[in-house]
A and B are shown apart, each in its own frame.
Chain A
């Protein structure tokens, strides 16, 4: 580290701000995270030598924002082909090169496991320090300012968005709210904003419920950030609006399904463990596809689109897939 480490009450280890760039450098285990005007640099030791990996600052912050917002998500969140996290639901692996065939073969990869609150606190502190005023890591590039340059202010409002978890369906009493107070996104101005007509008989007013899902999605102020809109036991519909690139390469620890509700997304699919490319899947409105449990995927959406992500949150699924009790493919035909 370039200066004396400072440890905060949340056990986040960081330096004082760099005198030139204004950014702090952070340490988590033996990993070090440093940024400058353009890049984030992650360092670790392997085979007795110092190793490092570099990412554009905007891509790094977009990836880290998703990892934090999703609570490390289901399985692997690859920031790129080298750096990432794996969720063990209570503990989290932070790795460099572990799921990259070349790094692994050369023995220059490194993995450390942390209690979830520890790694979460460090990631949040990095975001708080490295996200400048005007840059929103949740936003599409055309809707936000620059991530680059020396430190200039902060954007806590963007990185600390809070969403109420849906228990059954948004808009039900005591459940998550609808989005009527948010504006319609610039790319969804043509999406109908009408509501279903509910004619409830007396006594059943609180049991009949419907809303305009497409209106709800047209008013999402973020990209690549699913939110739950219906809960059927452990089956969760998690639609999201997508524009530009999924900032991470998501590695599945279970089968996940996509339903393309509007427009088009293309997915690069690669082997979960090695990163070797396997397929490129183009989905158009109405298409339904599975993402198997042994792959990683990254999506591209030129026109802002609506994607329904369908998850199965049965608690023991990752271990059943890992033990081979369940095939990685949902259907055999």
Chain B
């Protein structure tokens, strides 16, 4: 027997559902990250999961992103598309994200420091975005990124718009 594994994509996804017995559907904060990315601007950091100060963000990858950095490790999983991550070791780490600062911080211009290299990724690939490194995404084909990070100044919460209720 041949099994078919079903992944979602920006152009093809099916959203699940909630059958309520005695509850409020809002309690499940139910969204679909492909749907969220489809309705977002490129690299808009839309929060789809929040656990106090920690978040999961869905990003629509299209073209090049701004440069970001963070004071802590972040992780990205490519859910759709083909995306390259470029990384730079910042000469002055504190100039981007202050020690202890939470979430991604967008740099105002090009990062200053030596290039660390790049990682070319496709669906299902996960990369480490090391603390105090600058990074940007370059989408070779339009896609969707899942980012594990902390709630930060660029995180966008629009729960009523994205969740079942």
Contacts and interface: CB of A to CB of B under 8 A. Distances in A.
Contacts of B148: 230, 232, 235, 237, 310
Contact of B159 (A278, A281, A333): A333
B74 A232 contact: yes
A215 B16 CA distance: 24
* Residue of B18, B26, B51 with highest tally of chain A CB at under 10 A: B51
Contacts of B48: 288
A282 B164 CA distance: 12
Given A198-B117, A264-B6, A278-B22, A230 B30 contact: no
Contact of B56 (A213, A257, A326): A257
A312 interface: yes
B51 A232 contact: no
A331 B5 contact: no
Interface in A24-40: none
Contact of A214 (B32, B52, B116, B123): B123
Contact of A230 (B25, B126, B133, B163): B126
A142 to B, nearest CB: 10
Interface in B90-134: 114-128, 130, 133
A279 B26 CA distance: 12
Interface residues of A, number: 74
A50 interface: no
Interface stretch (A55-63, A97-105, A128-136, A181-189): A181-189
Contacts of A2: none
A194 B122 contact: yes
Nearest to A306: B5
A191 B124 contact: yes
Interface in A94-125: none
A188 B5 CA distance: 7
Given A235-B51, A284-B32, A328-B27, 17 more contacts: A169-B75, A169-B128, A201-B116, A210-B126, A213-B124, A214-B123, A230-B73, A233-B150, A262-B7, A281-B17, A284-B14, A285-B14, A287-B16, A288-B48, A303-B3, A312-B52, A331-B159
13 contacts: A187-B5, A190-B3, A192-B122, A196-B120, A198-B119, A204-B87, A210-B127, A231-B73, A259-B146, A280-B21, A286-B79, A290-B27, A292-B27
